[in-house]
Amino acid sequence: MNQSEAKEQIQALRKEIEVYNHEYYVLDSPSVPDAEYDKKLRQLIDLEEAFPDLVTADSPTQRVGGEPLDAFVKVQHDMPMLSLGNAFDEEELRDFDRRVREGTSEPVRYVCELKIDGLAVSLKYEDGVFVRGATRGDGQTGEDITTNLRTIRSIPLRLKNRETIEVRGEAFMPKRSFDHLNEQKKQNNEEPFANPRNAAAGSLRQLDPKIAARRHLDIFLYGVGVWEDEPTEAHSERLKHMDKLGLKTNPEWKLCNTIDDVIDYVKGWENERPDLDYEIDGIVIKVDNLAQQETLGFTAKSPRWATAYKFPAEEAVTKLTDIELSVGRTGTVTPTALLDPVKVAGTTVQRASLHNEDLIKEKDIRIGDTVIIKKAGDIIPEVVRVLEDQRDGSEQTFDMPERCPECDSELVRLDEEVALRCINPNCPAQLREGLIHFVSRNAMNIDGLGEKVIAQLFKENLVYTIADLYKLDRDELLKLDRMGAKSVDNLLSAIEASKENSLERLLFGLGIRFVGAKAANTLAQEFETMEHLMEADYDELIALYDMGEKIADSIARYFDEPKVIELIEELKQLGLNMAYKGRKKSEQPTDSLFADKTIVLTGTMEEYTRSEAKGIVEASGGKVTGSVSSNTDLLIAGADAGSKYDKAAELGVEIWDEQQFKQALNT
């Protein structure tokens, strides 16, 4: 057999095998016996071994996993993977519906989907070929786990059409795979996984993809990040189109005309979920119409057009043996209940949140009480109530201390807050927690500087402030326990590399009260340099989009502090970058035809690809969206424009053809 004949036969075998894969793993309706599938796969393997030049990344043989990786590479999501707001009862679902209807003038329909308890991932296809898979990470940046995701046989390596699309979904471990895996772990005297979610996440974060391949994971795709030339105008249409592409969606979704229909769907699945072969922890409710989604928009953290209803938490009874106090980076003193170990929601719980002194008094919680605790998903367990009829008189009441448990400074309540705070700026606990926050993933992201290392450095008096991290001495570090030459060198390299981070990471890392990652990014983009931000007054800050009074006041007060000014100057002298490295507002053309305009591209252009046209518009200050709405300023239409053209005409949106687009660029 020559190369040309082998190529033809390989392509035919791949096509057959992918059809069998789709039938078995997606449709659950195999058309051939396992022996026939195995025979075809063996033929393909033999041919690819004989003709290695013909092996491609989308071949079914590549699902078994390659060589182990040294580490996962960080990747930037083309569009952020935001989390959803939560609803916990019928009243909150009706509040969500009310907010949606207030935000749009047209009738609203919802799509309800099962909320799979797994690991959120992104799959990117170019011209129909699977090219990259990533974890959600912090929503902006994830980890490249393409090799591990290829081992999931329900993920097509090639779509049925040559689409360029990025889809989102939930990778999970079916209950039968979970039971089989834990049985193997018991036989090997290994610690079993607590629940299928942890097992799925652990499998996909294995550096050896062969391990992921053996664990029989699955996936449901539920959304789109970026889709070139999207043909749909509703989320329900997206799900149907994704099915046609060969992507596995959950078949249990339902289109609901009213919030009452949504609530009926939720109640039904609260009872039926034990019958599923996979874990769900709630229901996701989304506005169906994509134009309405765009009109409703987003908060800093989540879309306004979707929410996640969480099923009632699991509860358990245990004994509260003590109450421990901890001091956070903002000085808040938080009580935590220490418990006799008890299993809740698949995990063993020994600690539970008590929030504050008022809650302890309100619930009359005493040391030695028998209590009910609850845990929902990843939420920290909390004490629900005390079983007073089980008291025997030995229980002890608990009073919050008047002085800080770390530095013995007087505790105060600020601005009528419930929480007690230590306001000593040199409190060791606050400094330590502040350092842990500074080096965390969403802040300066310094690999090798976890909580234990920070605590060790603090204990040995090697660090006291943020600036001290950048003054660490190699010889001093080598004297510490478990700090070999390679670990020390890697740590110092990571610290040095963090100096180049963009301004928003530094701002978030500083721990300014009320300033989260989103606000830090807004500030960095708006002011561009630390110097300009420090000069801004309250009025300038409050004028920014999504910048509330509390945040603006906190920032202004923070940069008024002499010690803060000294710290910033010291960090600058140590070589830390003080400028925003993203696309600056000052670089965006303000006199461009597209400046501050919302533009939709549709149809097929002769001289530009969709990506090229999108890039041109964005480089000229415009924002490109996928759906036509009343907020759309301009529709640029190529050939076969379809329903988006009709919608724009109906709404009176200005419409250009490709010739007008070209003329505008040349003037």
CA angle, corner 188, sides to 185 and 189, nearest 5?
Answer: 85
At 58-71, the pLDDT tens digits run 787 776 555 545 56
Task: Show the tokens assigned to 77.
Answer: 């999501």
585 falls in which pLDDT band (50, 70, 90)? Answer: low
Q: What is the pLDDT of residue 587?
A: 62
CATH class of 85-310: alpha beta
Mean pLDDT of 234-239: 95
Most confident of 325-329, 354-358, 593-597: 325-329
Q: Is the pLDDT reported for residue 244 higher than 90? A: yes
Q: Is the pLDDT reported for residue 376 higher than 70? A: no
User: Domain 590-666 classified CATH 3.20.20.70?
Assistant: no
Mean pLDDT of 405-413: 90
Listed range (214-223, 419-428, 453-462) with the worst mean pLDDT = 419-428
Q: What is the pLDDT of residue 11?
A: 87
Task: Show the tokens assigned to 324.
Answer: 């421990």
Report the distance separating Cα 471 and Cα 226, nearest Å. 43
Most confident of 60-64, 522-526, 639-643: 522-526
What's phi and psi for 616, nearest 5 deg? Answer: -65, -45
> From residue 270, how far is each of 172, 264, 279, 308, 550 by CA, in Å?
20, 10, 12, 14, 39
DSSP conformation letters of 439-496 = TSTTTT--TT--HHHHHHHHHTTS-SSHHHHTT--HHHHHTSTT--HHHHHHHHHHHH
Mean pLDDT of 254-270: 94
Residue 286 falls in the annotated catalytic set: no
Torsion angle in degrees (nearest 10) through CA of 447, 448, 450, 453: -150
Report the distance separating Cα 149 and Cα 380, nearest Å. 29
* Continuous H helices in 153-208: 175-187, 196-204
Residue ranges per structural domain of the chain: 3-55, 85-310, 315-390, 428-498, 503-573, 590-666
* CATH number of the 315-390 domain: 2.40.50.140
Contact 34, 112 (CB under 8 A): no
Strand pairing category for 110-116 and 280-287: antiparallel
CA 445 to chain centre: 16
Q: Is the pLDDT reported for residue 463 higher than 70? A: yes
Q: Is 402 exposed, middle or buried (0-12, 13-18, 19+ CB in 10 A)?
A: exposed
Of 623, 630, 535, nearest to 578 by C-alpha is 535
Q: What is the pLDDT of residue 96?
A: 95
Residue 654's CB: how many other CB atoms inside 10 A? 13
Q: Find the length of the chain.
A: 667
Mean pLDDT of 289-313: 88
What pTM was computed for the model?
Answer: 0.55
Task: Show the tokens assigned to 6.
Answer: 């082998």
CATH class of 3-55: mainly alpha
Q: Tell me how far apart the 2 most distant CA atoms of the chain are, in Å.
A: 89
Q: For residues 417 and 103, which has the higher predicted lDDT (pLDDT)?
A: 103
Choose the catalytic residue: 40, 115, 310, 647: 115
503-573: what fold?
A: DNA polymerase; domain 1 (1.10.150)
Answer CATH for 428-498 from 3.10.20.520, 1.10.150.20, 1.20.58.1610, 3.40.1260.10: 1.10.150.20
The answer to whether the 428-498 and 503-573 domains have the same CATH topology is: yes
Q: What is the pLDDT of residue 415?
A: 66
Q: Is 283 exposed, middle or buried (0-12, 13-18, 19+ CB in 10 A)?
A: buried
